[in-house]
Amino acid sequence: MKKWIVIFIILGLLFLTNPTKDEYVSWMKDKSTANSGQIEKGLVSVFGNFIYGGTTTSTNLYLFSIFETKLDTDKPYRVIGIFKNFIPINF
């Protein structure tokens, strides 16, 4: 019985902490400006939502989400969002 309670608690936490597309876009903006200068940071802060939000698709699987951003490259960026964290699959 305790095993099932723990499983339901973990599933509930996964459901409640599943990140949204807006949280992913914010994370991408932070990641892309981590090693940038002031000009790049300014451009990303102004245009980041438009660029990343418009080129990203998200698949909500309720316990976690998969985000795919297709920029000007052949290979899209795929990231798993789980527990309000993001794990790059192919970055």
Quick: pLDDT tens for 36-87: 788 888 888 888 888 898 999 999 999 999 999 998 778 899 999 999 999 9
Can you give the pTM of this predicted structure?
0.86
Q: Nearest-5° angle of CA 40, CA 68, CA 15?
A: 110
Cα–Cα distance measured from residue 48 to residue 12, given in angstroms and rounded to the nearest whole number: 32
Per domain, the residue ranges of the chain are 2-90
pLDDT confidence of 4, banded at 50, 70, 90?
very high
Facing residues of 86 across strands? 81
Cα–Cα distance measured from residue 14 to residue 17, given in angstroms and rounded to the nearest whole number: 5
DSSP label of 11: H
Quick: pLDDT tens for 11-50: 999 999 999 999 999 999 999 888 778 888 888 888 888 8
